[in-house]
Amino acid sequence: MDFSFIFAATVFVLDLVYGLEAGLIVSTGDLFDRDLDSLHPCGCLLFEPKADNGKIAITGNYEYYTNFDQTLQMTRDSGFTLVQNATLQIDENLHLAGIGRTEVCSY
């Protein structure tokens, strides 16, 4: 989810997620793509959704456009488990793989 759109739209989308009673929430990259300080009101909303099997995130290319370490920390602070260059077994039938860049480059 790209949090660069307006706060009201973010609240609307997250309200939908809250109502799902999801077993697993997965961010498939590009969770943040702007200056994180300006996104604080939206970012704090990510703490709320819960899922029986947790919240998993991988990085996309947009996380590299801003302070990469700060982006990873905010993702973790929001309750997501980062899967980078690793696999994660959710249950006996579901395994997730995350492939991320280990080096940060300037775009």
pLDDT reading at 106 higher than 70: no
Mean pLDDT on 9-23: 81
CA–CA separation, 100 and 5 (whole Å): 25
pLDDT value, residue 33: 63
For the stretch 61-90, pLDDT in tens is: 777 777 788 888 888 888 889 998 899 999
Mean pLDDT on 89-104: 80
What is this structure's pTM? 0.73
- What is the distance of C-alpha 101 from the center of its chain? 16
